[in-house]
């Protein structure tokens, strides 16, 4: 992996030709250049002298030549911004080392050595929040992907596994709690100084190292594993946050039990700690035995957290816990294999959440996320396979493709194998590779062998980018149905030619005439075009295809509004029912936004949607959680992806117009439904679904009768006894010009101004609102006393929400684009990893109408020419311009 190329500018990218040179031209790392590290680091001993402004680190590494690697007479130890104090080899100070950029190159003459390195760092100056940094008076770490090199010099790559022993010391007053990976083996206090020693018996890569020291308290519990091991559980937080940790602790217990029952995975230490940190780039981190979490995914109570927050906490805690096996016990050989741990673990947390929350609604939520985040990624300049071939900055590849599409690819293997055979494959994977740094190929081979599948062609899913498009044609032949399926994988940057991939499609044939349904079938499309034959269930056949979203593909078919309305009202597969209504709405809205519908056709489309939605509103067999999903129209961003060079303003006008029509046409049904749901107490049966439905009703009312919506939303806000109702009401009020809006926004702020997570919601609701002055509101909020660029949650709460506001962000004069580019340039020197997350919003310039495209591209070019860019920003901007 040390063999790289460093081009001055990407080939064929004239936009960057005049850009000022960056201080560190980002090298290209290629998967094909992987070589095993020449040294084995069997043991790592770390000694920390802790301080917020100065921390001294002494590392002792037991190293030996790796017989499986090419021999080397030097050892490359990665570093980043470290102050080197001393180097010893076998107890003797040496000075024959040299620096290669930030890396330390140390000559080693024998087959085995003990290397000791002393460094000093300033955690309080670490605004990148990678490595060891200070957060609100405490010290914590984030080492994935390459943060450990900001703590000490080390071979900071995932295939170097070592057993860690850590000792730390510091002020007993400042750091009364000291945590690390593994189990605590000794602790003490002398003359105002506290010390603690921790040992992790399981070899791990440096990216899984974790240390936390500060004034914390814990919500303590226990869990007894299936083989009788009693595990101590702790959720560590600041004292004032302790009452909001019960849900997190219970979620951890559920996760441990579920993983034993579903995947046979038992926890392997005596202690499991979770720490909540307010300054954190990510959602959470699975460090062995010491998970570090963003407070957003730990703290919850009825007053401050929504139902969605509760679900997210449960899912994220499960995700990080499941990593103990799918990520920690078996880790990645190199960062190109990132989806090995992330895709598999996302699938595991999705299956867990399905069992906890209900399969149908959870599946719809997962697909909505995939389509909102990953489908656009697959069709844009940043498209990449789930196992990339190259990168310049690995933090840019923590993407929806790696996580969400990676999960869908593994889910397809599970669909083809069946749950029982898939479990045999995962058992084989865990048995074969426990304690190793593995590859995606290792996983696929284990599923292939354990489940008895032939996955030779399936491996193309790992190497090809792009979302396949499946075209469906049907023909009645005698008493059967002939179904012709064809597939195309569109060209993506660097991949112009694609091969057909196996696509498992669950389907069933309905009869619209008699309402009968044939048995569900699994058709696996492996060729560019194939024909399948199925018996009819009766006259007027209607095909329900990609049931449960069995494959992450786009379906194209010529289907009538009547057939879609039938599926939306009658399909026995909940996802297919949702999908039919979405398809009906998308077809109508795209035609309206494109100007392709006559007044008569528009009226017919609205009538069909009103009938379908009306059936959903009055269907007593539906639970309200599912009803709330079926009431949700396709998002403007999803509609954007369905069109060629669309005008976002026309999409917005079409969608709001449809909401207004439906709100008016179904006003009595909506109000009756609202009244019924309002009567459900907070913890009554179906209460969560009822709360979801109430907010959906308010959104339709806001479009059709703003004055009535303002009155109803204000009433809901004032009487709310939970955050879901209060936030839902305020969301609607934020988009209206009415006195109720100002009064409730002020009340919300004064009520929660001491709670950072809830104030994040306050920023987000205003940045996402449909209010015509949303841009001016965002500008004002950026100057608010509570806004800071140094906290990633706060930055995302305002600017990520704004970038997701189609109406405001895509203002015709380009002001939204300028605001985001200004943010990127200002944030990059502070926290490049967070800053880089905003570049893809500008990278859509090739897909949008020409006037806005020119403005978006202009802002990317302005960023490129600014100079002194981080590797994170440089790569994202370069690829967005050249893609």
- pLDDT band with cut points at 50, 70 and 90 for residue 569: confident
Please check whether residue 805 is in contact with residue 774, taking contact to mean a CB–CB distance below 8 angstroms.
yes
- Residue 278's nearest CA partner among 296, 264, 255 is 296
The yes-or-no verdict on residue 99 having pLDDT over 70 is: yes
Longest dimension (CA), the chain: 92
SS3 339: helix
- β-pairing verdict for 503-511 and 290-294: unpaired
b/e code 342-379 from CB counts within 10 Å (16+ = b)? bbbbbbbbbbbbbebbbebbbbbbbbbebbbbbbbbbb
- pLDDT band with cut points at 50, 70 and 90 for residue 213: very high
* Residue 441 confidence (pLDDT): 98
- Residue 588's nearest CA partner among 569, 604, 568 is 604
- How is residue 365 written in tokens? 């939520």
- β-pairing verdict for 162-171 and 39-49: parallel
Q: pLDDT by residue (tens digit) across 651-662?
A: 999 999 999 999
Please check whether residue 634 is in contact with residue 585, taking contact to mean a CB–CB distance below 8 angstroms.
yes
SS3 42: strand
Please check whether residue 752 is in contact with residue 762, taking contact to mean a CB–CB distance below 8 angstroms.
yes
At a CB cut-off of 8 Å and minimum separation 6, what does 512 contact? 539, 540, 541, 542, 562, 563, 566
Please check whether residue 20 is in contact with residue 32, taking contact to mean a CB–CB distance below 8 angstroms.
no
Please check whether residue 320 is in contact with residue 298, taking contact to mean a CB–CB distance below 8 angstroms.
no
- How is residue 404 written in tokens? 């969400």
Rounded CA gap, 235 and 274, in Å? Answer: 5
Rounded CA gap, 384 and 403, in Å? Answer: 12
Environment class of 242 (CB within 10 Å of its CB; exposed 0-12, middle 13-18, buried 19+): middle
Rounded CA gap, 372 and 642, in Å? Answer: 12
- β-pairing verdict for 55-65 and 469-477: unpaired
What would the mean pLDDT of 398-406 be, rounded to a whole number? 98
The yes-or-no verdict on residue 8 having pLDDT over 60 is: no
- β-pairing verdict for 74-77 and 103-107: antiparallel
Name all domains of the chain by residue range, CATH numbers in brackets. Answer: 44-61+71-293 (2.60.40.1730), 331-463 (1.10.390.10)
* Residue 25 confidence (pLDDT): 67
- pLDDT band with cut points at 50, 70 and 90 for residue 845: very high
What is the DSSP code (8-state) at residue 610? H
pTM above 0.75, yes or no: yes
Q: 123: how many CB neighbours lie within 10 A of its CB?
A: 22
What would the mean pLDDT of 22-48 be, rounded to a whole number? 90
Q: pLDDT by residue (tens digit) across 294-340?
A: 999 999 999 999 999 999 999 999 999 999 999 999 999 999 999 99
CA atoms within 13 Å, Cβ hemisphere of 126: 33
* Residue 353 confidence (pLDDT): 98
- Give start and end residues of each alpha helix (H) in 171-284: 246-263
* Residue 883 confidence (pLDDT): 63
Please check whether residue 65 is in contact with residue 38, taking contact to mean a CB–CB distance below 8 angstroms.
yes
The yes-or-no verdict on residue 778 having pLDDT over 90 is: yes
Please check whether residue 722 is in contact with residue 682, taking contact to mean a CB–CB distance below 8 angstroms.
yes
- Rounded to 5 degrees, φ, ψ at 56 are -100, 135
Q: pLDDT by residue (tens digit) across 734-747?
A: 999 999 999 999 99
For residue 198, say if its preceding peptide bond is cis, omega within 30 degrees of 0: no
Rounded CA gap, 9 and 383, in Å? Answer: 20
The yes-or-no verdict on residue 22 having pLDDT over 50 is: no
Rounded CA gap, 44 and 260, in Å? Answer: 31
Q: pLDDT by residue (tens digit) across 447-472?
A: 999 999 999 999 999 999 999 999 99
The yes-or-no verdict on residue 10 having pLDDT over 90 is: no
Give me the active site residues, please.
Answer: 320
Q: pLDDT by residue (tens digit) across 858-876?
A: 999 999 999 899 999 999 9
The yes-or-no verdict on residue 638 having pLDDT over 60 is: yes
Please check whether residue 243 is in contact with residue 235, taking contact to mean a CB–CB distance below 8 angstroms.
no
- pLDDT band with cut points at 50, 70 and 90 for residue 26: confident
State what percent of residues in the chain have pLDDT above 90.
96
């Amino acid at each position: 992996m040390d063999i790289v190329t460093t081009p001055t500018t990407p080939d064929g990218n004239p936009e960057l030709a005049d850009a000022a040179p960056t201080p560190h031209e980002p090298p290209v790392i290629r998967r094909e250049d992987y070589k095993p590290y020449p040294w084995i680091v069997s043991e790592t001993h770390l000694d920390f002298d802790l301080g917020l402004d100065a921390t001294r680190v002494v590392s002792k590494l037991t190293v030996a030549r790796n017989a499986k690697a090419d021999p080397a007479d030097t050892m490359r130890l990665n570093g980043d911004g470290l102050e080197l104090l001393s180097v010893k080899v076998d107890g003797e100070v040496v000075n024959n080392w040299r620096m290669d950029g930030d890396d330390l190159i140390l000559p080693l003459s024998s087959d085995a050595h003990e290397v000791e390195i002393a460094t000093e760092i300033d955690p309080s100056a670490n605004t990148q929040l990678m490595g060891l940094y200070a957060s609100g008076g405490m010290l914590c770490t984030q080492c994935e992907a390459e943060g450990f090199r900001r703590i000490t010099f080390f071979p900071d790559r995932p295939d170097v596994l070592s057993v860690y022993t850590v000792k730390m010391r510091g002020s007993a007053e400042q750091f009364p709690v000291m945590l690390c990976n593994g189990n605590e083996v000794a602790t003490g206090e002398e003359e105002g100084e506290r010390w603690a020693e921790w040992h992790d018996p399981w070899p791990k890569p440096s990216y899984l190292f974790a240390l936390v020291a500060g004034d914390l308290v814990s919500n303590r519990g226990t869990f007894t594993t299936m083989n009788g091991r009693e595990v101590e559980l702790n959720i560590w937080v600041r004292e004032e946050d302790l009452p909001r940790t019960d849900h997190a602790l219970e979620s951890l217990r559920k996760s441990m039990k579920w993983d034993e029952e579903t995947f046979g995975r038992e926890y392997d230490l005596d202690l499991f700690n979770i720490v909540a940190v307010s300054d954190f780039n990510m959602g959470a981190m699975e460090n062995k035995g010491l998970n570090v979490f963003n407070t957003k995914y730990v703290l919850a109570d009825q007053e401050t957290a929504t139902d969605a927050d509760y679900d997210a906490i449960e899912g994220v805690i499960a995700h990080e816990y499941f990593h103990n096996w799918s990520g920690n016990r078996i880790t990645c050989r190199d960062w190109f294999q990132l989806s090995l741990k992330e895709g598999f673990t996302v699938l595991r947390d999705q299956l867990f959440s399905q069992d906890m929350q209900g399969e149908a609604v959870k599946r719809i939520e997962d697909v909505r996320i995939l389509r909102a985040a990953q489908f656009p990624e697959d069709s844009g300049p940043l498209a990449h396979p789930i196992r990339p071939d190259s990168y310049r900055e690995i933090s840019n590849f923590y993407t929806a493709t790696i996580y969400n599409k990676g999960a869908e690819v593994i889910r397809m293997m599970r669909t083809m194998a069946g749950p029982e055979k898939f479990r045999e494959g995962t058992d084989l994977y865990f048995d074969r590779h426990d304690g190793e740094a593995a590859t995606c190929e290792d996983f696929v081979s284990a599923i292939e062998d354990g489940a008895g599948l032939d996955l030779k062609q399936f491996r193309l899913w790992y190497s090809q980018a792009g979302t396949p498009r499946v075209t469906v044609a049907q023909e009645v032949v005698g008493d059967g149905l002939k179904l012709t399926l064809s597939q195309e994988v569109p060209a993506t940057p660097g991949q112009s030619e694609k091969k057909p991939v196996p696509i498992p499609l669950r389907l069933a044939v309905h009869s619209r005439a008699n309402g009968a349904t044939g048995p569900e079938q699994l058709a696996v499309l492996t060729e560019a075009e194939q024909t399948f034959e199925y018996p009819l269930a009766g006259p007027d056949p209607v095909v329900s295809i990609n049931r449960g979203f069995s494959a992450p593909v786009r379906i194209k078919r010529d289907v009538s509004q009547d057939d879609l309305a039938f599926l939306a009202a009658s399909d026995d597969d909940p996802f297919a029912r949702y999908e039919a209504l979405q398809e009906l709405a998308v077809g109508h809205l795209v035609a309206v936004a494109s100007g392709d519908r006559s007044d008569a056709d528009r009226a017919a489309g609205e009538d069909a949607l009103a009938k379908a939605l009306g059936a959903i509103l009055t269907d007593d067999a539906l639970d309200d959680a599912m009803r709330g999903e079926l009431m949700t129209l396709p998002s403007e961003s999803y509609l954007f992806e369905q069109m060629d060079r669309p005008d976002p303003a026309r999409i917005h006008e079409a969608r709001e117009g449809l909401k207004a029509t439906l709100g008016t046409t179904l006003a009595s049904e909506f109000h009756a439904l609202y009244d019924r749901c309002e009567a459900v107490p907070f913890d009554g049966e179906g209460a969560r679904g009822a709360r979801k439905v109430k907010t959906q009703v308010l959104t339709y009312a806001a479009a059709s009768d703003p004055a009535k919506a303002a009155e109803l939303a204000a009433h809901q806000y004032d009487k709310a006894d939970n955050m879901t109702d209060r936030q839902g009401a305020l969301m609607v009020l934020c988009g209206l010009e009415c006195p109720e809006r100002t009064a409730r926004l002020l009340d919300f702020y004064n009520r929660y101004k001491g709670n950072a997570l809830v104030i994040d919601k306050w920023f987000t609701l205003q940045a996402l609102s449909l209010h015509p002055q949303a841009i001016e509101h965002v500008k004002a909020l950026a100057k608010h006393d509570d806004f800071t660029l140094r906290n990633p949650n706060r930055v995302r709460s305002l600017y990520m929400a704004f970038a997701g506001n189609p109406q405001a962000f895509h203002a015709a004069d380009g002001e939204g684009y300028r605001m985001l580019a200004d943010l990127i340039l200002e944030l990059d020197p502070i926290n490049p990893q967070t800053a880089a997350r905003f570049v893809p919003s500008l990278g859509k310039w090739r897909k949008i109408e020409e006037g806005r495209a020119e403005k978006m591209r202009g802002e990317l070019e302005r960023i490129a020419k600014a100079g002194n860019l981080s590797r994170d920003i440089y790569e994202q901007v370069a690829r967005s311009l050249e893609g």
